[in-house]
């Protein structure tokens, strides 16, 4: 078990002190814009960096994903392989994925780089390339094709997917192969955070060069019509779309994953079981709805209750703050709402470099979070600790002076000084004090004598 040092404890205490400076929860009238009507059976829109759900419709219903499955296939390949690794096409990869399925006519024992395969998978939805990639990764991990399928399901669970089960790597029809729109958004968000994936998924074109089995180049074009006018259809081009993946089978109907960026907001939209062209019109309608109704608010710039800029800490107010808010964290709010309308709640986390997180909610939606991170400011040692390193004897032995010992010594010396001072005062005034005591005794004796005389006179009068 990792030992927690006193500096880490100090950082946690500092974070707690910041959190309690002012009330963090401010409740206001909460308004969430009504979403548009969509034709797709299931749909969801999430903000990629915060995970905020901006729209959902039957988002947890299990659906057949078709070729949007390949987003998970490409993500796992990127996570487990270098792009220059050589992928060799087996008989299963070639002959199980031709015919009526999407493919680019690769041959037995043909060799492509991993990068070339992934472009073919994402742009041309090449099933034989997806299968070859799955075999390659599975074998690299010490197994086979099924090892890769198991890895798909394991990764889905790690991402929080609860309505997903993968049974192949390409999305071909299978009753045991399903995913919800919500789960597909989680997978897609994770993939989009990877730069290699973003480059591939956002490419309009790519050319596969000549190979050991093919003497001609193969031009790949993105089938996603919001990115590229596939087969000459430019009616669905969307200027803010930055990537995505199409899917279609008779059972799944049209499925579509799309990414878009505008005004600092990054969105992923998933629509499932849609008829043509509703998968495109729904996606455009949902993107427009989100960009028109929501805004990005930087937490560090808006949460004044947690502002540590210009402040000093420590007993003498000389130290820099030990913690701060993450600089680039933000929340997503309706444009009609203010930052202070969000409700903040501290969440304990187990993340390297993160002391705690503050989660913000608004209108029953989680709209973002920010980490409280260590600033790296040096914690100055106090006087007593410095004494530990001050003196060494002739033999090089370090003389440690404990603060508690010094405190007790100073206290005892103080008490001794007080006693000496009191004793000296007593000695200097001894005769004066003795004289005052004797005078008091004489006065008391005189008072008693007078009192006895008075009582004797009163008694004599009574018996006359």
Match 């002391």 to its residue by tokens.
355
What φ, ψ does residue 412 adopt, rounded to 5°? -65, -40
User: CA-to-CA distance for 50 and 353, rounded, in angstroms?
Assistant: 19
User: CA-to-CA distance for 414 and 408, rounded, in angstroms?
Assistant: 10
Torsion of CA 374, 377, 383, 386, to 10 degrees: 100
Structure tokens at 52: 């905020």
Angle at 341 between CA 339 and CA 344, to 5 degrees: 85
- Tell me which long-range contacts 255-258 makes (C-beta under 8 A, separation of at least 24): 255/63, 255/64, 255/65, 255/66, 255/67, 255/68, 255/279, 256/68, 256/224, 256/280, 256/283, 257/68, 257/71, 257/184, 257/188, 258/224, 258/226, 258/283, 258/287
Q: Can you name the residues that pair with 246 across neighbouring β-strands?
A: 256
0.85 exceeded by pTM:
no
Per-residue confidence (pLDDT) for residue 380, from 0 to 100: 57
Cα distance between the two ends of the chain = 103
Helix, strand, or coil here: 150?
A: helix
Strands (E), 184-299: 205-208, 218-221, 241-249, 253-262, 265-274, 294-298
Match 């707690």 to its residue by tokens.
16
Among candidate residues 198, 207, 200, 233, the one with its CA nearest the CA of residue 104:
207
Q: Are 88 and 131 in contact (CB under 8 A)?
A: no
Per-residue confidence (pLDDT) for residue 6, from 0 to 100: 47
H or E stretch at 369: strand 365-374
Contacts of 234 (CB under 8 A, 6+ apart): 225
Per-residue confidence (pLDDT) for residue 392, from 0 to 100: 47
Q: Are 58 and 270 in contact (CB under 8 A)?
A: no
Per-residue confidence (pLDDT) for residue 300, from 0 to 100: 87
User: CA-to-CA distance for 61 and 58, rounded, in angstroms?
Assistant: 6
Per-residue confidence (pLDDT) for residue 372, from 0 to 100: 83
User: CA-to-CA distance for 112 and 373, rounded, in angstroms?
Assistant: 44
Contacts of 377 (CB under 8 A, 6+ apart): 319, 320, 321, 322
Per-residue confidence (pLDDT) for residue 308, from 0 to 100: 56
User: CA-to-CA distance for 344 and 340, rounded, in angstroms?
Assistant: 9
Helix, strand, or coil here: 366?
A: strand
Contacts of 154 (CB under 8 A, 6+ apart): none
Per-residue pLDDT of the chain (464 residues; tens, 9 = 90+): 445 554 554 455 455 444 444 444 444 468 899 999 999 999 999 999 999 999 999 999 999 999 999 999 999 999 999 999 999 999 999 998 866 789 999 999 999 999 999 999 999 999 999 999 999 999 999 999 999 999 999 999 999 999 999 999 999 999 999 999 999 999 999 999 999 999 999 999 999 999 999 999 999 999 999 999 999 999 999 999 999 999 999 999 999 999 999 999 999 999 999 999 999 999 999 999 999 999 999 998 988 765 555 555 444 444 556 677 888 899 999 999 999 999 999 887 777 778 888 999 999 999 999 888 877 666 555 544 555 555 444 445 555 556 767 777 788 888 888 888 877 777 777 666 776 777 677 767 776 776 666 666 666 666 55
Q: Are 180 and 202 in contact (CB under 8 A)?
A: no
Contacts of 20 (CB under 8 A, 6+ apart): none
CA 58 to chain CA centroid, Å, is 26
Structure tokens at 378: 């040096």
């Amino acid at each position: 078990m990792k030992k927690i040092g006193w500096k880490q404890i100090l950082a946690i205490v500092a974070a707690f002190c910041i959190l309690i400076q002012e009330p963090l929860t401010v409740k206001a009238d909460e308004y969430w814009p009504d979403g548009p009507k969509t034709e797709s059976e299931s749909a969801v829109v999430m903000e990629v960096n915060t995970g905020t759900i901006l729209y959902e419709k039957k988002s947890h219903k299990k659906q057949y994903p078709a070729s949007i499955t390949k987003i998970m296939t490409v993500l796992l390949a990127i996570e487990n392989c270098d792009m220059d690794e050589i992928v060799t096409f087996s008989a299963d990869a070639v002959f199980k994925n031709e015919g009526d399925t999407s493919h680019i006519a690769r041959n037995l024992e043909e060799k492509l780089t991993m990068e070339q395969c992934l472009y073919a998978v994402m742009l041309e939805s090449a099933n034989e390339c997806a299968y070859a990639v799955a075999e390659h990764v599975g074998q690299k991990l010490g197994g086979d094709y099924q090892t890769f399928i198991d890895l798909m399901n394991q990764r889905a669970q790690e991402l929080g997917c609860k309505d997903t089960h993968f049974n192949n790597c390409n999305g071909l029809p299978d009753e045991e192969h399903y995913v919800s729109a919500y789960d597909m958004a989680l997978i897609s968000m994770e993939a989009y955070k990877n730069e290699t994936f973003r480059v591939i998924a956002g490419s309009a074109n790519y050319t596969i060069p000549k190979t050991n089995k093919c003497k001609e180049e193969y031009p790949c074009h993105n089938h996603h019509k919001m990115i590229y006018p596939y087969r000459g259809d430019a009616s669905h081009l969307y200027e803010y779309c930055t990537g995505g993946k199409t899917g279609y089978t008779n059972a799944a109907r049209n499925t579509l994953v799309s990414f878009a960026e505008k005004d600092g907001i990054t969105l992923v939209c998933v629509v499932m079981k849609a008829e043509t062209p509703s998968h495109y019109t729904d996606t455009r309608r949902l993107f427009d709805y989100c960009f028109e109704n929501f805004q990005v608010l930087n937490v560090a710039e808006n949460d004044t209750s947690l502002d540590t800029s210009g402040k000093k800490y420590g007993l003498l107010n000389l130290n820099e703050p030990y913690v701060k808010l993450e600089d680039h964290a933000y929340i997503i709010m309706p444009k009609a709402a203010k930052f202070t309308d969000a409700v903040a709640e501290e969440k304990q986390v187990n993340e390297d470099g993160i002391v705690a997180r503050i989660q913000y909610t608004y209108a029953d939606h989680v709209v973002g979070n920010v980490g409280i991170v260590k600033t790296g400011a040096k914690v100055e040692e106090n006087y007593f600790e410095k004494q530990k390193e001050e003196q060494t004897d002739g033999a090089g032995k370090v003389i440690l002076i404990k603060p508690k010992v010094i405190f007790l010594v100073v206290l005892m010396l103080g008490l001794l000084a007080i006693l000496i001072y009191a004793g000296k005062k007593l000695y200097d005034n001894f005769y004066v004090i003795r004289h005052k005591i004797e005078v008091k005794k004489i006065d008391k004796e005189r008072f008693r004598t007078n009192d006895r005389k008075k009582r004797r006179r009163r008694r004599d009068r009574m018996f006359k």
